[in-house]
């Protein structure tokens, strides 16, 4: 089905091209996207695996690049830290708009403990949102599909590595390209360094007259000796922008009566409820009764870790969404066997006091039962995204994105999507080539037509599409040729899917015959989840 639609689109593309060339003298319509002026200065937002690759590729193509990252070091999601945000600080405000931007920029301010009712720690962690990684977290993807080019893992590294190994891997990649937090590699002596850490992009705006992008930036620095925080705001101007802010910008807190409205909760009535983002170690849950909300990977993996520490583990799970029943089955099978499953929470009764934590609280379930005696509650309810552009957007990525990541209404803006580990190298090269002029984007009208189809291309097809498009462009305009993902990675992926994932549910599989399957034949066993998506896709909404 996907193939048919793709070939139909291509067919109609060729037809429109040939009719256009017949009428070329009457209607000299452009055949591809052109830019107002040459693109030289590019901003990349986010130093995770996606943003690091985009930055390295753009530098290799001689762009003047600035990489902005709100965290103090590279690694994105994989920057482990013992720091935790106390809880979602301003639940009623859009992500990234938690602090008023001063009217006149540039400006510098000093903050002391307690200013505006915030501790220095709160101000610091609100700025960079320490990552949702816990100490014992290991990857749930095989290392071959969680690896960047240029800095391979040691061949003896196991298939499933620790979060610290991924962090070191990303820092190696950053150092290799001179993008680490202690590297300083200006393009010229007078240029600022390519990287700006602890620097959050507050706003991305288009200057319609100059045809440039203006970024509003805020950098924080902890001044340990004087026990203060220095904040600096300023703006910088660019010809193009890559938004590589990842799918998980902030924790998702479900709209359950009793926990959402922290801003209005009276002292003493608040529940000490923590998002899984705050979870680091199992020890504090020793001998406690823990309620975990959610049924997905964070919920099941945290429950597994707590299995040998907690007194009781209760999981509040809502009915599976039918679109992926076997994924739900897989997630549920990962919970430890002591888990007691209960339905969704309806509401929480206000607490009578703050002294004894939430133990005295009454937690009402949708089936009418009431849970009591819960010591701790962990919201493993996932994350939410928000794009920096268009303004006020509450989704991770706006709808009108071309399959190359370019924003169709203005392709000087691009979003990274899909799995950066496997797709990012092609995506980054495509961005560099288009902005350099050594690859072409179709016209906006044609891109709009293709936009409807790109979701169907996710999976193996998106790799093939990138490879043909990039190599065809290099043939015409010069540049390196790209190769498909190495066949040995696909072979490992097949084994991984069956052994690590399927064997939990399907223990009768004959491992000897794995080599006879091709990747897409394994799809059926993950519901509608294509095994290729393990190489490509992160999240259905991403």
Ligand X SMILES: *[C@@H]1O[C@H](CO)[C@@H](O)[C@H](O)[C@H]1NC(C)=O
Ligand Y SMILES: NC(=O)c1ccc[n+]([C@@H]2O[C@H](COP(=O)([O-])OP(=O)(O)OC[C@H]3O[C@@H](n4cnc5c(N)ncnc54)[C@H](OP(=O)(O)O)[C@@H]3O)[C@@H](O)[C@H]2O)c1
Ligand Z SMILES: Cc1cc2nc3c(=O)[nH]c(=O)nc-3n(C[C@H](O)[C@H](O)[C@H](O)COP(=O)(O)OP(=O)(O)OC[C@H]3O[C@@H](n4cnc5c(N)ncnc54)[C@H](O)[C@@H]3O)c2cc1C
Which residues contribute to the site for ligand Z (CB under 6 A)?
45-51, 68-71, 76-78, 96, 132-133, 139-141, 146, 200-201, 244-249, 298, 388, 416, 420-421, 538
Residues 6+ apart with CB under 8 A from 327: 526, 527, 529
Rounded to an integer, what distance in angstroms lies between the CA atom of residue 483 and that of residue 459?
16
SS3 content of the chain, % helix, strand, coil (to 5): 30, 20, 50
Q: If binding means CB under 6 A, how many residues of this protein chain bind ligand Y?
A: 22
**365 scored as a contact of ligand Y (CB under 6 A):** no
**368 scored as a contact of ligand X (CB under 6 A):** yes
**Window 223-242: contact mask with ligand X (x via CB under 6 A):** --------------------
Closest CB 509 distance from ligand Y, rounded Å:
22
Choose from ligand Z, ligand X, ligand Y, none: what does 368 bind? Cβ within 5-8 Å by kind.
ligand X
Rounded to an integer, what distance in angstroms lies between the CA atom of residue 173 and that of residue 56?
9
Q: Which is nearer to ligand Z, 159 or 502 (CB)?
A: 159
CB 291 within 8 A of CB 274: no
Choose from ligand X, ligand Z, ligand Y, none: what does 69 bind? Cβ within 5-8 Å by kind.
ligand Z
Closest CB 424 distance from ligand Z, rounded Å:
8
Closest CB 407 distance from ligand X, rounded Å:
16
How far is CA 411 from its chain centroid?
Answer: 21
**369 scored as a contact of ligand X (CB under 6 A):** yes
Closest CB 51 distance from ligand Y, rounded Å:
18
Closest CB 147 distance from ligand X, rounded Å:
24
Rounded to an integer, what distance in angstroms lies between the CA atom of residue 204 and that of residue 216?
7
Rounded to an integer, what distance in angstroms lies between the CA atom of residue 513 and that of residue 532?
19
Rg for the chain, CA atoms, rounded: 25
Q: If binding means CB under 6 A, how many residues of this protein chain bind ligand X?
A: 20
Rounded to an integer, what distance in angstroms lies between the CA atom of residue 121 and that of residue 220?
12
Closest CB 359 distance from ligand Z, rounded Å:
28
Q: Is 5 left (phi over 0), alpha (psi -120 to 50) or beta?
A: alpha
Choose from ligand X, ligand Z, ligand Y, none: what does 293 bind? Cβ within 5-8 Å by kind.
ligand Y
H/E run at residue 206: strand 199-207
In the region spanning residues 452 to 511, those forming contacts with ligand X, defined by CB under 6 A, are 468-469, 472, 476
Q: Which is nearer to ligand Y, 146 or 436 (CB)?
A: 146
Q: Residue 484 has what DSSP assignment?
A: P
**137 scored as a contact of ligand Y (CB under 6 A):** yes
Q: Of 33, 181, 199, 381, which lies in the binding site for ligand Y, with binding defined by CB under 6 A?
A: 381
Q: Which is nearer to ligand Y, 99 or 316 (CB)?
A: 316
Closest CB 420 distance from ligand X, rounded Å:
21
Q: Which is nearer to ligand X, 261 or 476 (CB)?
A: 476
Q: How are beta strands 199-207 and 212-223 bridged, if at all?
A: antiparallel
In the region spanning residues 298 to 327, those forming contacts with ligand Y, defined by CB under 6 A, are 298-299, 301, 316, 318, 321
Choose from ligand Y, ligand X, ligand Z, none: what does 442 bind? Cβ within 5-8 Å by kind.
none
Q: Which is nearer to ligand Z, 167 or 212 (CB)?
A: 167
Q: Which is nearer to ligand Y, 221 or 261 (CB)?
A: 261
Choose from ligand Y, ligand X, ligand Z, none: what does 287 bind? Cβ within 5-8 Å by kind.
ligand X
Closest Cα partner for 334 from 493, 498, 505? 505
Choose from ligand X, ligand Z, ligand Y, none: what does 48 bind? Cβ within 5-8 Å by kind.
ligand Z
Rounded to an integer, what distance in angstroms lies between the CA atom of residue 416 and that of residue 425?
11
Residue 379, token pair as written in the block: 């919201």
Neighbours of 315 (CB within 10 A): 23
Residue 222 sits at φ, ψ, to 5 deg, of -85, 125
Q: Of 44, 231, 380, 458, which lies in the binding site for ligand Y, with binding defined by CB under 6 A?
A: 380
**377 scored as a contact of ligand Y (CB under 6 A):** no
In the region spanning residues 83 to 122, those forming contacts with ligand X, defined by CB under 6 A, are none
H/E run at residue 243: strand 240-243
Residues 6+ apart with CB under 8 A from 336: 303, 304, 306, 307, 313
**395 scored as a contact of ligand X (CB under 6 A):** no
Rounded to an integer, what distance in angstroms lies between the CA atom of residue 19 and that of residue 28?
12
Q: Is 116 left (phi over 0), alpha (psi -120 to 50) or beta?
A: left
Contact set with ligand Y (CB under 6 A): 137, 139-140, 254, 256, 276, 293-299, 301, 316, 318, 321, 344, 380-382, 539
Contact set with ligand X (CB under 6 A): 60-62, 286-287, 321, 323, 337, 342-343, 365, 367-369, 391-392, 468-469, 472, 476
């Amino acid at each position: 089905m996907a193939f048919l639609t793709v070939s139909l689109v291509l067919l109609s593309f060729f037809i429109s091209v040939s009719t256009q060339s017949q009428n070329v003298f009457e209607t000299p319509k452009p055949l591809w996207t052109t830019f107002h002026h040459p693109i030289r200065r590019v901003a990349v937002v986010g130093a995770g695996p996606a943003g690091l690759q985009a930055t390295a590729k753009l530098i290799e193509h001689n762009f003047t690049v600035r990489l902005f990252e709100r965290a103090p070091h590279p690694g994105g999601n994989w920057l482990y830290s013992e720091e935790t945000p106390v809880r979602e600080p301003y639940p009623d405000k859009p992500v990234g708009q938690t602090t008023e931007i001063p009217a006149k920029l540039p400006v510098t301010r000093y903050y002391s403990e307690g200013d505006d009712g915030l501790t220095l720690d709160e101000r610091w962690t609100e700025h960079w949102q320490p990552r949702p990684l816990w100490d014992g977290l290991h990857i749930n993807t095989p290392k071959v599909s969680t690896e960047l080019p240029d800095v391979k893992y040691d061949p003896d590294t196991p298939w499933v590595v620790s979060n610290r190994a991924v962090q070191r891997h990303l820092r190696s990649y950053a150092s290799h390209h001179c993008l680490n937090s202690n590297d300083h590699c200006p393009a010229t002596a007078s240029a600022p360094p390519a990287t700006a850490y602890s620097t959050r992009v507050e706003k991305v705006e288009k200057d319609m007259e100059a045809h440039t992008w203006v970024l509003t930036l805020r950098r924080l620095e902890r001044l340990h000796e004087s026990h203060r925080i220095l904040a600096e705001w300023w703006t910088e101007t660019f010809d193009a922008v890559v938004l590589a802010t990842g799918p998980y910008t902030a924790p998702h807190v479900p709209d359950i009566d009793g926990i959402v409205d922290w801003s209005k909760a009276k002292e003493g009535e608040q529940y000490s409820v923590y998002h899984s983002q705050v979870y680091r170690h199992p020890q504090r849950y020793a001998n406690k009764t823990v309620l975990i909300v959610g049924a997905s990977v964070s919920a099941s993996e945290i429950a597994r870790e707590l299995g040998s520490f907690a007194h009781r583990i209760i999981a509040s799970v809502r009915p599976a969404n039918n679109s992926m029943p076997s994924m739900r089955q897989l997630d549920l099978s990962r919970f430890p066997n002591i888990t007691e499953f209960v339905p969704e929470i309806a509401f929480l009764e206000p607490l009578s006091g703050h002294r004894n934590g939430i133990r005295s609280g009454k937690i009402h379930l949708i089936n009418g039962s009431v849970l009591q005696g819960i010591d701790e509650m962990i919201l493993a309810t996932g994350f939410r995204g928000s794009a920096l552009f268009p303004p006020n957007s509450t989704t991770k990525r706006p709808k009108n994105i071309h399959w190359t990541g370019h924003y169709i209404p203005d392709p000087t803006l691009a979003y990274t999507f899909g799995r950066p580990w496997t797709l990012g190298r092609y995506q980054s090269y495509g961005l560099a080539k288009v902005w350099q002029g050594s690859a072409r984007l179709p016209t906006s009208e044609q891109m709009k037509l293709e936009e409807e189809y790109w979701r169907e291309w996710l999976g193996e097809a998106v790799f093939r599409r990138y490879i043909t498009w990039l190599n065809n462009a290099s043939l015409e305009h010069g540049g390196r040729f790209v190769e498909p993902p190495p066949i040995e990675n696909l072979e490992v992926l097949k084994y991984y899917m069956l052994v690590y994932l399927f064997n939990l549910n399907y223990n009768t599989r004959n491992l000897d015959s794995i080599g006879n399957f091709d990747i897409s034949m394994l799809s059926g066993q993950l519901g509608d989840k294509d095994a290729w998506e393990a190489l490509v896709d992160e999240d259905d909404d991403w």
